[in-house]
Structure 1
Amino acid sequence: MTTKTTSSSEPVGRLLDWLGLRYSRSGAPRSASDAPDPSGARDLSRQARRDLVAAIANFLIEHDLDVSPANLLIAHSAFSGSNPQLARRIALRAQSAEGVDQPWMDEIGGEDEGRQSKADLDRLMTRLETNLETFQTRSKAAHQMTRDYGSELEDHLTDLEQLQKTGQIVSNLADLAKTMLERTRKAEDEMRRSEDEAKSLRRSLARAKRDAEVDYLTGLPNRRAFEALLERHYREAREQPIALSVAFCDIDNFKAINDAHGHDAGDRVLKVIADTLAHISNDNCHVARHGGEEFVMLFRGLTPAEAAQRLNDARERLADRRLINRKTDEPFGVVTFSGGVADLFGYSDPRAALKAADEALYRAKESGRNRIEIA
């Protein structure tokens, strides 16, 4: 998405002042506490923050939106690169006849609240799993203690019964020991059942967590699983170090396929693309469904040029196929996808690299589709 910088705009200037920034002579937003760098070196991280604030400010002012926490969060997600799909939605909406207005922003905010509810559910699941593990550990220890206690009671009971001349007191003690042993064995059985139930619940919880990280339609990891994988590989690749590239892929003219053949047929096309991309994945190449008709990939040990070549080979194989709707025997025609690739270490952080890959994908779409662009 391209954002126009209007440094001369008075409303934008006021908003930047409100956010604790002001303009330098060059027109770029600058913190009031900034001092000139005597060496003249450029602080990329600080400049990126300034550009982000300017982009958010221009967006809110240009579309006459409220300076509210909800709008600021949405704009930050879109312009920071943390949610490329949202950025594309905003770009398409801005180009449409409806335009970006406050009611539409409120609708987007409602969707974010749904995602936040999902995050809350994830935290509750994690807490439940921890509590189950603690319960199972303690229950196992109590089970062992009860079993040991029962064994000792049984030994004492045997000794008491072997005494033939002990009298009524010993006989009473023996009866009492029998009763205690029966109760101990019953408690042991109940604890064993509790352990089995806890194990079963933990297995169910593990399955639920796996299901929450898998896209139900394609069987690929979903966006949540990919973000966790990206974080881990990014950390490992920085320590080694090795090349790390990321890519976004998007099915070309997917809406036209849905309109012409129906959503069921569109789902089958999604699966074909997923299988095509999964075919080139391995331990060093990971693919996930990012949402809608968009997929995201991580290439470990490959430069952007090498990753783009892998994607381009897959793109050509798909473009050579002639897909047919098996339910109607009508041809889909040529089904293609476009892609954008970026170097994860060519940017300040993974989010910025993802945003660059998404922008490269957008260029591929604007340049005619069915092509791979490198950021």
Structure 2
Amino acid sequence: MARAVRDPSESDGDPADHAIEALRDLGIPIDPVTFTVWYEYYRGDNLDLKHAVNKLLRSDAEPSRADCLELHSRFLGNHDNMDETAEQIRVAIEAALSSIGDAGKQNAAFGLRLGSISGDLVDCKDSRSVGSIVASLLRETEKTVRRSRDLEEQLSSASGEIRLLKDNLADLHVEASTDALTGLANRKHFDKQLKSEIDEATTTDSDLALLMIDIDHFKSFNDRFGHAIGDEVLKVVASTIRRSVKGRDTAARYGGEEFCVILPQTDLNGAIIVADQIRLAVSSRPLTHRTTQQDFGRITLSAGVARFRTGESMKELVERSDKALYKAKEKGRNRVEDETALD
């Protein structure tokens, strides 16, 4: 039986708000682990986590904090900085809820006091006593108004703090999955995303292709012009790759001068076209120093393309794409080779 929580695919707005709402609806305590799991679920980037949570929601068991601990360990175990920020968010939320709770108790006391004053008015026999009772009523009302103003200020401050912490959590998420130099996905994110896409392709019997791309003679280029210029070349290649992908495609820096692109719902021929577009875009671009106008010539790329075969491992797909890349190197570089060249 599916649990009644907001569906991520139909959820606009802030994932942190949806996470808190879901935890309350499910009766799960808000703490660093539970908040992070549901925040990532509503972000939707971690497909493995998303599938696991959906499976849990469809089961007969009531989702619990123990389930969140297990999900966190499986899919988010290394995100220490995100946990720390999530803890700060939890503290801010608890402070806000505490203020609301205190205000509720105070308002309940105010209600009891009003009831008492109302009874006094019924029993009152002279105008002097009425004046005294009304004065007491005014004092109690003024106290409640002041408390309401204090609560409004506290909640406004908590809201600002929570907003900043949520922004920080989002930044940490990006930082944990991004290559600092190029801005593409890093190796860790690539591994996780490829596994997810393989699971998806297996489940839906859909196409999936992988490109492995390497800058030709990059070591010689680095030795000749220096690592600073080499880093700029890596950025140029990364930006070209980024402009060539779309939708669910994932572009990543695999390591050094090697890049890769995951292409869901793309067959072998489509992937070859994408690889060649990237190769031509890079090789047609002259490289010059912005300030000195020094000419660095042109760089070229070699690429290998492989398609996912149902039942194979992630390692097998990567190795086949990598072998196709080295076949392109053997045949003279500045070219694209696919897995059929390995037969």
Q: Shorter-chain-normalised TM-score: which range?
A: 0.5 to 0.7
- Aligned: 1:301 with 2:257: no
Show CA shifts across 1:42-63 (max 9, x none): xxxxxxxxxxxxxxxxxxxxxx
Q: Match of 1:70?
A: none
Q: Which amino acid aligns with 2:292?
A: T
- Aligned: 1:141 with 2:105: no
The unaligned stretches of length 5 or more in structure 1 are 1-118
Q: Match of 2:40?
A: none
TM-score (norm 1): 0.57
Kindly tell me: are residues 316 and 303 of structure 1, through their superposed partners in 2, closer, same or farther at Cα, counting changes over 3 Å? same
Q: Deviation of residue 346 (structure 1)?
A: 5.6
Q: Which amino acid aligns with 1:147?
A: A
Q: Match of 2:106?
A: 150
Q: Match of 1:266?
A: 230
Q: Deviation of residue 372 (structure 1)?
A: 1.6
User: Which runs of structure 2 are paired with 1:1-375 in the superposition (5 Å)?
Assistant: 122-132=78-88, 134-156=90-112, 160=117, 165=129, 189-190=153-154, 193-194=157-158, 196-345=160-309, 348-375=312-339
Q: Deviation of residue 169 (structure 1)?
A: 12
Write the distance in 2 (CA, Å) between the matches of 1:241 and 1:150: 60
Show CA shifts across 1:208-229 (max 9, x none): 2212222233222222332332
Q: Deviation of residue 292 (structure 1)?
A: 1.8
Show CA shifts across 1:197-249 (max 9, x none): 34422321221221222223322222233233223322222221211011111
Q: Deviation of residue 189 (structure 1)?
A: 5.0
Kindly tell me: are residues 334 and 167 of structure 1, through their superposed partners in 2, closer, same or farther at Cα, counting changes over 3 Å? closer
Q: Which amino acid aligns with 1:365?
A: K
Tell whether the 8 Å contact from 2:267 to 2:307 is kept in structure 1 after alignment: yes
Q: Which amino acid aligns with 2:304?
A: G
CA root-mean-square deviation: 3.6
Q: Deviation of residue 287 (structure 1)?
A: 1.2
Tell whether the 8 Å contact from 1:346 to 1:353 is kept in structure 2 after alignment: no
SS where residue 184 of structure 2 aligns?
A: coil
Q: Which amino acid aligns with 2:179?
A: D
Write the distance in 1 (CA, Å) between the matches of 2:136 and 2:205: 76
Question: What count of residue pairs does the alignment treat as equivalent?
Answer: 257
Q: Which amino acid aligns with 2:98?
A: A
SS where residue 329 of structure 1 aligns?
A: coil
Kindly tell me: are residues 140 and 281 of structure 1, through their superposed partners in 2, closer, same or farther at Cα, counting changes over 3 Å? same
Q: Deviation of residue 332 (structure 1)?
A: 1.9
Q: Deviation of residue 349 (structure 1)?
A: 1.1
Tell whether the 8 Å contact from 2:328 to 2:336 is kept in structure 1 after alignment: yes
Q: Deviation of residue 338 (structure 1)?
A: 0.8
Q: Deviation of residue 176 (structure 1)?
A: 9.2
Which segment is superposed worse, 362-371 or 148-157? 148-157
Write the distance in 1 (CA, Å) between the matches of 2:135 and 2:251: 74
Write the distance in 2 (CA, Å) between the matches of 1:134 and 1:198: 9
SS where residue 341 of structure 1 aligns?
A: strand
Tell whether the 8 Å contact from 1:157 to 1:177 is kept in structure 2 after alignment: no
Write the distance in 1 (CA, Å) between the matches of 2:248 and 2:170: 25
Tell whether the 8 Å contact from 2:284 to 2:298 is kept in structure 1 after alignment: yes
Tell whether the 8 Å contact from 1:157 to 1:178 is kept in structure 2 after alignment: no
Write the distance in 1 (CA, Å) between the matches of 2:257 and 2:178: 15
SS where residue 180 of structure 2 aligns?
A: coil
Write the distance in 2 (CA, Å) between the matches of 1:284 and 1:208: 21
SS where residue 345 of structure 1 aligns?
A: coil
SS where residue 165 of structure 1 aligns?
A: helix
TM-score (norm 2): 0.62
SS where residue 219 of structure 2 aligns?
A: helix
Kindly tell me: are residues 196 and 177 of structure 1, through their superposed partners in 2, closer, same or farther at Cα, counting changes over 3 Å? same
